[in-house]
Amino acid sequence: MKKYLYFQPEYVSKFKCDGGGCNARCCKGWMIYIDAATYKKYSRIQPKSKAKEITSHIKFDSEKKKNIVALDEKNGCPFLNENNLCSLQLEYGEKFLSQTCATYPRITAPFGKFFERSLTLTCPVVAEMILFAEEPMKFEFVEVPEKVHSNHGKITSISSYFPASEKAAEQMLSVQVAIISILQERTLSIDQRLIALCFFVDKLEEIYSHGIDEDELKKLIAAYESKEFLAEQMPLMIQSVNFDAEKFIRLMMEMFEAFYGAKEFLVDEKGRIFLNTVTNTLQIKPDENNFISLSTITANYEQLAEARKKFFADYSTFLENYLVNELFLNLYPWKYNRLPTRSISVFLIIYKVFELLTFAAIQNNLSSKNDLLKLVDWYTNQIDHSDRLQEKIFAYLEEHKDFFELMETLLKS
């Protein structure tokens, strides 16, 4: 039997989905796409009356130009049974699942001779397994049999970027491993790790701009994986970054406008709750002239220094795991087919919005595991299923092109 080589976090092999652990969360309230090949299978099921019954629950979305499942009156998939299991899979087998249903929450991307696979945090079972782990996330190469690899031909990729050669794929993997080691360097604070990441990516971009010098790339990676370099050189690099709290608050306010301006916010109770925690924590309120003072909000933020210090002490592994998973899953620093510094800039802003939301939630006593999983669910949906925040970020970066200025806007040494 043919086998395929996969590089993945170890947690992927441990994940099992039966619909019971999360009350079939992915089958409720989501837009469930039915690919053309699967729709054809459904329409050919015998007897014809059964095929007609199944396809009656599938509608064509003229805007998306795709077939989607019409959810029932409870906002759930009509094919779910009373045990939160898929009746189609039970009756006809796994090969009758659509591409979306067969692969979710697994994300697989071709990577030269191997594939990379990870899981998305929109699945609450996955989010709990990943984010609340105390040990650093570990990775492995595994051999995957044909049946699992193809899932009946249903491989999904999240990126239009593919390595141009086997050598490029190897280099990209070595860069990923180096970045992950930076993000998991627990002798540094979260912001210090991100500062180290920025210096690494800036140098990486310089190497790439000259037509990849493999020796230079190896030297760069070796330096950042060296404990001596981290102990002697990194403190000097970190100290050169001067955090600007007012610029940070201004940037965060701009990003949160993307949520407040979205139509879906008006009907999304979870979004309203978590956005309000930020308003409460930073005491964002207009004065008698209906003016919101940026300097006042900045002062409120700076007065929370001790609370933020405790937050990082208590939740650093939670934040680390979020960073590592999102970086690996989204193929940073190559996502969006942009320069490494631009790609990482998007990654940093997305993370910093998440960090502020998490801090504010905890300050407002939404600190239980269930509360945090609800936050992750809502925020990941905003990132993965809406372009609003990314559009806001891209617009910001068009006006603020200095990578080191962005560092000083976001990161505190």
Looking at the domain assignment, is residue 117 inside a domain?
Answer: no
Q: What Å distances lie between residue 168 and 161, 162, 297, CA to CA? A: 12, 9, 46
CA 220, CA 196: separation in Å to the nearest integer? Answer: 12
Distance CA 352, CA 250 (A): 13
Is 354 a member of any domain?
A: yes
pLDDT of 163 reads 61
Contact 61, 122 (CB under 8 A): no
| Length in residues, the chain | 413
Number of domains comprising the chain: 2
pLDDT of residue 160: 47
Residue 67: enclosing H or E segment and its boundaries? strand 66-69
Looking at the structure, tell me whether residues 204 and 71 fall in a common domain. Answer: no
Asked if residue 82 is part of any domain, the answer here is: yes
250 & 304 share domain: yes
Spell 49-85 as b/e; 16+ CB within 10 A means b.
eeeeebeebbeeeeeeebbbbebeeeebbbbbeeebb
Residue 115 lies in a domain: no
Rounded Cα–Cα distance for residues 241 and 408 (Å): 6
Contact assessment for residue 349 and residue 410, using Cβ atoms and an 8 Å cutoff: yes
| Structure letter (DSSP) for residue 76 | B
Report pLDDT for 266. Answer: 46
Does position 338 have pLDDT exceeding 80, yes or no? Answer: no
CA dist 297 → 252, 305, 318, 407 (Å)? 11, 13, 26, 20
- Is the dihedral angle over the CA atoms 403, 406, 410, 413 positive or is it negative? positive
**Together in a domain, 260 and 393:** yes
Domain assignment of residue 299, given as a range: 127-147+164-413
Q: Which residue has the tokens 């000097």?
A: 236
Q: Are residues 55 and 189 in the same domain?
A: no
Q: Is residue 11 included in any domain, yes or no?
A: no
The answer on 271 and 313 residing in a single domain is yes
In this model, does residue 158 exceed pLDDT 50?
no
In a domain, 289, yes or no: yes
Same-domain status, 89 and 228: no
- Mark which of 87, 103, 119 sits at the end of a domain: 103
pLDDT digits (tens, 9 = 90+) for 265-299: 444 677 889 999 999 999 998 877 778 899 999 99
The answer to whether residues 97 and 138 belong to one domain is no
Contacts of range 405-409, beta carbons closer than 8 Å, 24 or more positions apart: 406/345, 406/348, 407/195, 407/198, 407/241, 408/241, 408/242, 408/243, 408/244, 408/247, 409/243, 409/244, 409/247, 409/248, 409/251
Of 95-99, 201-205, 241-245, 308-312, the one with minimum mean pLDDT is: 95-99
pLDDT (mean) for 350-356: 97
* Closest among 235, 234, 260 to 353, alpha carbons compared: 260
pLDDT reported for residue 231: 85
Token representation of residue 40: 């054809």
Task: Based on the fold, state whether residues 360 and 219 are members of the same structural domain.
Answer: yes
Asked if residue 212 has pLDDT above 80, the reply is no
User: Does residue 194 sit in the same domain as residue 50?
Assistant: no
Q: How many Cβ atoms from other residues are within 10 Å of residue 408's Cβ? A: 18
Lookup result for tokens 């190497």: 207
Handedness of CA 171, 177, 178, 180 (dihedral sign): positive
Mean pLDDT of 159-164: 54
User: Is the same domain home to 70 and 138?
Assistant: no
pLDDT at position 28 is 66
**What letter would DSSP give residue 44?**
T
Does residue 31 sit in the same domain as residue 133? no
Give the residue-averaged pLDDT of 165-192.
92
Query: Does some domain include residue 111?
Result: no
Q: Are residues 47 and 143 in the same domain?
A: no
Determine, yes or no, domain membership for 268: yes
